[in-house]
Structure 1
Amino acid sequence: MSPKNRKVQQFSARGGVMAAAAVATLAGIGGPAAAIPTDPVVQFTPTLTRVPGGNCAAIINAETVPQAQSGQFGVRVKITQSGQFCGAYRVAVRWRNLDSGYSDGQSHRVDENGVINATDGVIVGMGTAPGAGRVEASIVTTYEDGREMEYLAGTAAFTLG
């Protein structure tokens, strides 16, 4: 393959990622997802991210998962990854309780194949307990050393009882 064709392929791959990002952004314009304690599942807008490796990218779809204790939530993530020789990274849930001002987060490792290191793909832990109130949350990606990667964050807004 000549260098000229390789550049066209790289441009096409990047153009595809950008087109997907534009569609996801437009889909999320309708406003934040609304939830009340009796509405147990809230969908995040898709997270689009570049992944370490050769032209690697991922689309991360996520939804809240009700927890046994009040004021806590889990996030189920489903990752669709493409590219060659992709590397490991981390997916993080970051949130802010709008009523108390408290904010925190939780992250989990994703392997080279796009498989998250979390039971049933659900992110839970000490960093997913904002307490009762209105919560805004986002899904972001980081390198394993904690530096943020290139991404368009998925977001959701919900209320915990």
Structure 2
Amino acid sequence: MSLKNVSLQQFTFRTGVVAAAMVAVWSGFTGTAGANPTDPVAQFTSTLTRVPGSNCAAILNAETVAQPQSGTFGVRVKITQTGQSCGAYYLTVHWKNVGTGLTSGQSQKVEGTSVVGLPDNVITGMGMGPGAGKVEAWIDTYSEVYPQNADLEHIAGRATFTLG
């Protein structure tokens, strides 16, 4: 192996390391890229709801979960359900950014004590980005019935928190 080949290999290796580091920085792999670690966990008041089925009801306790992007949040839901032959229903996390007036939310299907398809019952996604500022959030429940969804009898859980 000649000296030229060794130098070329070292140059190629160093260039690859520098390029990989730059890609990691640009794509956010080196940190939380905009997450605000000072965003406190906010507890929602309990949501109490009737659930489709025979004498079915549920208590939904929820808390916010920090997300890797600034101005977004997730919600972890813990569900206690009673009754027999209880059916599925939907919960919706609604929010309003008090400063900007922006409102939105996200619905997820619930079966038993699980939010369908979400690990650890943590709701995240496109509907969970109110931006920085004071946020008011609440949780409602509904049943998917033809021809129109019907709100379930419930007392909405609420929380107010600030996102950085």
The reply to whether residue 159 of structure 1 matches residue 162 of structure 2 is yes
Structure with the bigger percentage of helix: 1
1:148 corresponds in structure 2 to 151
Equivalent position SS for 1:104: strand
Would you say how many aligned residue pairs link Structure 1 and Structure 2? 125
**Partner letter of residue 151 of structure 2?**
E
TM-score (norm: length of structure 2): 0.73
Question: Deviations 1:39-93 (Å, cap 9, x if unpaired)?
Answer: 4311000000000000000000000000000000000000000001100001110
Q: What letter matches 1:131 in structure 2?
A: G
Q: Which residue is 2:81 aligned to? A: 81
Structure 2 counterpart of 1:126, one-letter code: M
| CA distance in 1: counterparts of 2:139 and 2:37, whole angstroms | 21
Distance 1:103 1:63, change over 3 A: same
Structure 1 residue ranges, 4+ long, deviating more than 3 angstroms after superposition: none
Q: 2:71 aligned with 1:68, yes or no?
A: no
1:92 aligns with 2:92: yes
Percent pairwise identity: 61
Q: Aligned equivalents of 1:108 and 1:61: distance in 2?
A: 15
2:119 and 2:108 mapped to 1: Cα distance?
Answer: 10
CA contact (8 A) 1:141 1:151 kept: yes
Any conservation in 2 of the 1:37–1:160 contact (CA below 8 Å)? no
Cα distance in 2 between the residues matched to 1:93 and 1:137: 7
Give the residue type in structure 2 aligned to 1:116: V
Q: CA deviation at 1:114?
A: 2.6
Structure 1 unaligned runs (5+)? 1-35
Larger radius of gyration: 2
Q: Is residue 136–residue 161 contact of structure 2 (8 Å, CA) maintained in 1? A: yes
Q: Is the 8 A contact 2:46 2:157 kept in 1?
A: yes
Query: Counterpart of 2:115 in 1: which secondary structure?
Result: coil
The code of the aligned residue for 1:147 comes to A
CA distance in 1, matches of 2:69, 2:48: 31
Give SS of 1:128's match: coil
Helix, strand or coil for the counterpart of 1:138?
strand
Question: What is the Cα deviation at residue 140 of structure 1?
Answer: 1.0
Tell me, in whole angstroms, the C-alpha distance in 1 between the residues paired with 2:140 and 2:72: 19
TM-score for both structures, normalised by structure 1? 0.74
What are structure 2's unaligned runs of at least 5 residues? 1-35
Q: 1:61 to 1:87 in 2, by over 3 A?
A: same
Q: Which moved more, 1:74-83 or 1:38-47?
A: 38-47
Question: Helix, strand or coil for the counterpart of 1:126?
Answer: coil
